[in-house]
A and B are shown apart, each in its own frame.
Chain A
Amino acid sequence: MNFDLSDEQRLLEETVDKFLATECAMPRVRELFDDDAGFDEAVWHGLGEMGVLGLHLPEDVGGAGLELLELAVVAEIMGRRATPGPFFEHVLAAMAIDRAGSEAQREQWLPRLASGEARATIAVAEGGASGECWRPEQWQLGDGSALSGEKRFVPHALGADLFVVGLRGGGLGLVESGAPGLATQRLEGLDRTRRLDCVTFEETPCDRLPRGAEVATQVLDAGLVLLAADAHGGGMACVDAAVEYAKTREQFGVKIGSFQALKHQLADMAVEIHPTRGLVWYAAHAFDHLPEEASAAAATAKAHLGDRFVDVARRTIEAHGGIGYTWECDVQFWLKRSLFDWAILGDPNLHRRRAADLLGW
């Protein structure tokens, strides 16, 4: 029994944390938040050089041969540091190619995706008025060799080299940037640390992943775990920020953290978010080692953390008073990231219904 990170995983955690602390500290996050591109190529390539983008890929394609848990460790830190830029969509795209692709597709893409030389994203949701739009059963984009239609809520599609696209029947296919008929348009997203785009296809050629339909749900489950990890990290950052502020800000001649009403609000936030780290770890561990539990655990983690993070982020803003309501105050990053984590890949109630089905209730 050892439900904790290994020494290697802790080293990974420290290394990534240190890297982001120097290369993408809060002042830089602020700049990127207002920037058009929304992320820093240097940080991206730094992550690639560290091997972070290929942690989960086999060694023969330039990966580290590790698992989802390692990716979740990274996602948690990015959540904590509100790191702007692509990550989860890229590693999911690579996972899809690794698990569903032909040898040729794997050889063509995985080494470049592992190093970060090429950047990929996943395009799954269509429409979007209903929470169901994320589920493979709902995908309508043609499954022939040429695609016509639209995908929405595609993370960091602008500038991506490769799209893993969800197809009618629940399969997956590859579309390269520059393909005929492919166009990308930025959506006005709230979370400016993770941009969302709309991608349109018109008779656009698509290279199917042979086992796409078999792995689509698995890949999306991995995404749920990574978003849950991000939410845990973000939620912890919120509690830390609110507690820190309560220890420094003074009113009525004392630190506001000595007012019991505020203390109790902060305690309740800790009750909501501190214990959820194990939930994320368990979902990652199940994905890696307990296949029959994996989907329910991923759905549960995503649903739970989705709501907890939004809740804690809202209360963090309130605990900061007027300054919390400004664009200048860093806590807005987490409020907006919480809204991203809540909605993308399916809202909490969607995944609660899924978990209920999967658990045979």
Chain B
Amino acid sequence: MDLGYGTEYEACREQVRVFLRAQWPPRETNAEDATAEQIQSFRRAAVDAGYLYRNIPRRFGGSEQEADILAAQIIREEFGTVRAPMELTGQGPQMLAPTLLEWGTDWQKDHFVRKAIEGEHIWCQGYSEPGAGSDLASLRTTGELRDGEWVLNGQKIWTTHWKRAHYMFALVRTEPEAGKHAGISYLLLKMDQPGVEVRPLKQITGDSEFAEVFFNDARTPADWIVGERGAGWTVSRSLLRHERNMIGSANRSAGLFRSLLRLARSAQIDGRPAVEDRQVREALAAIHGYVETQRCSSYVQLTRELQGRDSETLSLLNKISDTNIGQQVSLLAHRLLGAESALAPRGQPAGRTSGNEKWMNQFMGSLGMAIAGGTSNIQRNIIAERGLGLPRDAAAARDEKP
């Protein structure tokens, strides 16, 4: 068992450090005060050096490096240590770009990939509909090819990032005669057009990050389809794979736990820091057990990947494991807040507060995590059927017959 990276990789780590010492934070600036231009020029330099967007070809704005899980891990670690900007997050860079690289035409890649990963184009994901959530393939938004254009009618919902989005990638029923899954295509479209109407939805947190999107003869060019007609389900599956990886990250859980620890140090019980309370210590350590389990399990999975082996059931457990950790963190944080847990996290309450009420955002956000990207029950179905080999759900099995 060897958790080191070997001399070759330690040399690679040293190179990354040399790069970062020269580039981040920008000269005479604190990292927190860096301007958008400084961040952007840092990202460019990091791409040139081969550290970001490693699996994206140079001509699309990536650094086109050979797949190397360990090098990628080292880069993440070192960038994380000095809090240097990493790849942009969001549905364009993390979901659309990999999908186009796998399925897109040359024109689509030329046109969209670079701008997606550089954040020039913001993308949103149009999958869910009022009647199609967990049962996504029952979606009913239609797309009809008329005069060299797709004409879209129907409704999407829970569309995140609508506010800034220039484009949407959407699942649309284009083959009404075909079966449930085989009738779906994957289309790209412009948000700013007369046929697209957005109605923001107010979320449980009071924010409006997601919206309803209505299509009334919305239009998009015939060649803005990704993959074949009717192949949208398959195309979108590879996307969900990317999303699952994005959500299943042990690092994020570890970061969340460190914040919880800070909360436990600042919150008070009987006039003493809560972290000194016996039950709080036990509760913290119980969550720490789960966080450590995820960290060690990620080493196991990383090793299997390096060996070119499948991590079987393990990788299916990541999303729900992270969701469970988020939930436990939120419950303990809630307990530690005491009366301040009754305050709106974004309000401006009269009088003084500790500011800890912002944790109630995490309390609610942890519920979003249990729903978005495949609910926990859907994860359980997948674990039971694909991981443990239990019989397929009768309704779902019936459904998948062509």
Contacts and interface: CB of A to CB of B under 8 A. Distances in A.
A120 interface: no
A215 to B, nearest CB: 23
Interface in B350-402: 377, 379-381, 383-385, 387-394
Contacts of A307: 286, 289
A245 B1 CA distance: 35
B321 interface: yes
Contacts of A351: 285
A1 interface: yes
Given A4-B1, A304-B289, A246 B390 contact: yes
A109 to B, nearest CB: 29
B281 A243 contact: no
A300 B384 contact: no
Interface in A229-281: 239, 243, 246-247, 254-255, 257-258, 260, 263-264, 266-268, 270-271, 274-279, 281
B1 A281 contact: yes
A258 B296 contact: no
Contacts of A278: 293, 295-300
Interface residues of B, number: 56
B292 A300 contact: yes
A327 interface: no
A258 B390 contact: yes
B390 A356 contact: no
Interface in A307-353: 307, 348-349, 351-353
A271 B321 contact: yes
B330 to A, nearest CB: 18
A285 interface: yes
Nearest to B285: A352
A69 interface: yes
Contact of B317 (A1, A5, A275, A349): A275
A285 B295 CA distance: 14
A268 B303 contact: no
Interface stretch (B2-10, B99-107, B196-204, B207-215): B2-10
B302 interface: yes
A349 B286 CA distance: 8
Contact of A355 (B285, B307, B385): B285
Given A69-B1, A258-B391, A361-B284, A271 B261 contact: no
A6 interface: yes
A270 B393 contact: no
B145 interface: no
Contact of B296 (A243, A268, A281): A281
Nearest to A297: B292
Contacts of A22: none
Tier of interface size on chain A: 35 or more
Given A4-B300, A260-B393, A300-B289, A353 B383 contact: no
B384 A264 contact: yes
Contacts of B317: 270-271, 274-275
A270 B383 contact: yes
A1 B9 CA distance: 10
Contact of A356 (B285, B296, B307): B285
Contacts of A276: 293, 297
A248 to B, nearest CB: 12
A257 B391 contact: yes
A355 B3 CA distance: 22
Contact of B282 (A239, A271, A282, A349): A349
Contacts of A352: 281-282, 284-286, 289
Interface in A1-39: 1-6
Given A243-B390, A352-B281, A300 B299 contact: no
B70 interface: yes
Given A2-B303, A356-B281, A361-B281, A275 B390 contact: no
A188 to B, nearest CB: 30
Contacts of A279: 289, 292-293, 296-297
Given A247-B389, A263-B390, A270-B387, A275 B297 contact: yes
A282 B380 contact: no
A303 interface: yes
A69 B1 CA distance: 9
B320 A275 contact: no
Contact of B284 (A258, A282, A356): A356
A204 to B, nearest CB: 37
B272 interface: no
A2 B320 CA distance: 25
Contacts of A267: 379-381, 383-384, 387-388
A4 B384 CA distance: 25
- Sorted nearest first, the 10 A-B pairs with minimum C-beta distance are A278-B296, A304-B289, A352-B285, A275-B297, A3-B299, A263-B384, A267-B383, A258-B391, A267-B380, A356-B281
Given A257-B391, A352-B289, A356-B284, 17 more contacts: A1-B6, A1-B9, A1-B306, A2-B1, A2-B303, A3-B299, A6-B1, A263-B380, A274-B317, A277-B300, A278-B296, A278-B300, A281-B1, A297-B292, A304-B289, A304-B290, A361-B281
Interface of B: 1-6, 9, 70, 73, 261, 264, 275, 278, 281-282, 284-286, 288-290, 292-300, 302-304, 306-307, 313-314, 317, 320-321, 324, 377, 379-381, 383-385, 387-394
24 contacts: A1-B3, A1-B6, A1-B9, A1-B70, A3-B300, A3-B303, A4-B304, A4-B307, A258-B391, A266-B388, A271-B324, A271-B383, A275-B296, A278-B297, A279-B289, A281-B1, A282-B296, A285-B3, A304-B286, A304-B289, A304-B293, A352-B284, A353-B281, A361-B281
